[in-house]
Amino acid sequence: MTDVNALSARIHSRFAVEVESLNVALGEITVEVKPEYLLALCQMLRDEADFDFKLLVDVCGVDYLHYGLDDWQTDSTTATGFGRGVTALPERKNPVKPNRFAVVYHLLSLEKNHRIRLRVNLPNEKELILDSVIDIWPAANWFERETFDLFGILFRGHPDLRRILTDYGFVGHPFRKDFPLIGKVEARYDATLKRVVYEPVSIEARVLEPKVIRHDNRYLSGQEDVSHGK
């Protein structure tokens, strides 16, 4: 297997213009690519002998809306108990991302047995569009359709960018962090109409919160257990 540090050094040296940053962590290489250079970089990574990334393993979207924030977005938990939802966590190592959405590509070279991760940050939240890599790796076809369906990210040049997992009339993109967990509509089969109908969601929205147990002898931390006479 190719040494990741040597591979990262070659990528950094070869693509200084196209790459925003390069990081090696846990034996994996993550390359942040400038959006305007995505196609050119991918073409070279596939065709140049030093890299030979002939296989596109995966394409997926990422929503960093709550990245680096508290675990629960809620006002009803307390700081006196299990209250990560309202207590600030300054020790968090993950900073808040400047860009909400990104697209991630995982590439593999079967010949050289090395792999990298490409991440493209989308700077404009209102215009989520990126060049399609389908002409470089045809396997991107369904991956890009899935990313469009679940995150609402468009791919310029894709020949058939339709939803692939949700229904034709589905509203919204369910993997966005601000999409409600209960959805926006519910479906049922109407025996009278003999078809599936969509209606407003009838269940009540709720926030998953930790359960705080305040007076439990199991958590006295060495104090005397009065209930057992100790």
List, as one string, the DSSP characters of 112-143.
Answer: TTEEEEEEEEES-TTS-EEE--TTT-TTHHHH
Greater confidence (192 vs 199) lies with: 192
152 assigned to some structural domain = yes
Note whether residue 154 is domain-resident. yes
Q: Is residue 193 part of a domain?
A: no
For residue 81, pLDDT beyond 60: no
Residue 198 resides in a domain: no
CB 83 within 8 A of CB 76: no
- Its domain, for residue 142, covers 1-64+99-161
Residue 230, in any domain of the structure: no
**pTM of this structure:** 0.76
Looking up residue 31, the CATH number of its domain turns out to be 3.30.460.80
Average of per-residue pLDDT across 109-137: 92
Percent of the chain exceeding pLDDT 90 equals: 43
d(CA 129, CA 126): 9
Q: What total of structural domains would you count in the chain?
A: 1
